[in-house]
Amino acid sequence: MGILLIWSLVLFLIKWIACKRRGAISYDSSDQTALYIRMLGSCVIFKQLSTRDVRVRSRAGFVSERRGSHPYIDFRILHSQSETDVPLSARNIRRLLSFQRYMRSSLFFRGIAAQNSLYILDDDYNGQAKCMLEKVGNWNFDIFLFDRLTNGNSLVNLTFHLLNQHGLIEHFNLDMVKLRRFLVMVQEDYHSQNPYHNAVHAADVTQAMYCYLREHKLAKTFTQWDVLVGLIAAATHDLDHPGVNQLFLIKTNHYLASLYNNTSVLENHHWRSAVGLLRESGLFAHLPLQDRQQMESQLGCLILATDISRQNEYLSQFRIHLDKGDLHLDNADHRLFILQMALKCADICNPCRTWELSKQWSEKVTEEFFHQGDVERKYRLDVSPLCDRHKEKIYDIQIGFITYLVEPLFVEWARFSNTRLSQTMLGHVGLNKASWKGMQQEQSSSGDDTLPQKDRIP
Considering the complex, state which of residue 227 and residue 346 has its C-beta at the smaller distance from Zn ion.
346
307 binds Zn ion (CB under 5 A): no
What is the nearest approach in angstroms of Zn ion to the Cβ of residue 207?
A: 13
What is the nearest approach in angstroms of Zn ion to the Cβ of residue 270?
A: 9
Residue 191 labelled as part of a binding site? no
Distance, in Å, from the CA atom of 22 to the CA atom of 43, rounded to the nearest integer, reads 8
Phi, psi (degrees; rounded to nearest 5) at 245: -95, 180
Number of residues interacting with Zn ion: please give it, by CB under 5 A: 2
Site for Zn ion in 66-125 (CB under 5 A): none
Cβ atoms of residues 273 and 68 within 8 Å: yes
Interior CA angle at 94 toward 91 and 99, to 5°?
125
Distance, in Å, from the CA atom of 27 to the CA atom of 35, rounded to the nearest integer, reads 6
Cβ atoms of residues 391 and 294 within 8 Å: no
Residue 227 labelled as part of a binding site? no
Considering the complex, state which of residue 80 and residue 192 has its C-beta at the smaller distance from Zn ion.
192
Please identify which of the residues 197, 269, 371, 428 carries the catalytic annotation.
197
Instruction: Tell which residue, 231, 352, 249, has the closest CA to residue 302.
Output: 231
238 binds Zn ion (CB under 5 A): yes
Selected range binding Zn ion among 107-115, 236-244, 271-279, 442-450, rule: CB under 5 A: 236-244
Selected range binding Zn ion among 140-148, 151-159, 346-354, 356-364, rule: CB under 5 A: 346-354
Considering the complex, state which of residue 189 and residue 347 has its C-beta at the smaller distance from Zn ion.
347
254 is catalytic: no
Selected range binding Zn ion among 177-185, 340-348, 380-388, 411-419, rule: CB under 5 A: 340-348
Selected range binding Zn ion among 27-35, 92-100, 286-294, 342-350, rule: CB under 5 A: 342-350
Residue 198 labelled as part of a binding site? yes
Selected range binding Zn ion among 86-94, 259-267, 339-347, 432-440, rule: CB under 5 A: 339-347
Residue 237 labelled as part of a binding site? yes
Interior CA angle at 176 toward 186 and 347, to 5°?
35
Distance, in Å, from the CA atom of 98 to the CA atom of 65, rounded to the nearest integer, reads 12
Helix (H, G, I), strand (E, B) or coil at 57: strand
Residue 200 labelled as part of a binding site? yes
347 binds Zn ion (CB under 5 A): yes
Phi, psi (degrees; rounded to nearest 5) at 275: -60, -45
Residue 453 labelled as part of a binding site? no
Cβ atoms of residues 70 and 39 within 8 Å: yes
Distance, in Å, from the CA atom of 192 to the CA atom of 180, rounded to the nearest integer, reads 19
What is the nearest approach in angstroms of Zn ion to the Cβ of residue 446?
A: 34
> Which amino acid belongs to residue 447?
G
Cβ atoms of residues 233 and 339 within 8 Å: yes
Residue 201 labelled as part of a binding site? yes
Instruction: Give Cα 403 distance to the centre of its chain.
Output: 23
Considering the complex, state which of residue 296 and residue 307 has its C-beta at the smaller distance from Zn ion.
307
Considering the complex, state which of residue 174 and residue 239 has its C-beta at the smaller distance from Zn ion.
239
Helix (H, G, I), strand (E, B) or coil at 109: helix
Instruction: Tell which residue, 26, 24, 43, 44, has the closest CA to residue 35.
Output: 26
Sign, CA dihedral 229-304-394-253, equals positive
Which x/- pattern, by CB under 5 A, does the window 176-215 give for Zn ion? Answer: ----------------------------------------
> Which amino acid belongs to residue 142?
D
Residue 238 labelled as part of a binding site? yes
The residues assigned a catalytic role are: 197
Binding site residues, as ranges? 197-201, 237-238, 347, 398
Binding site residues for Zn(2+), as ranges? 201, 237-238, 347
Binding site residues for AMP, as ranges? 197-201, 238, 347, 398
Q: Which residues make up the interface to Zn ion (CB under 5 A)? A: 238, 347
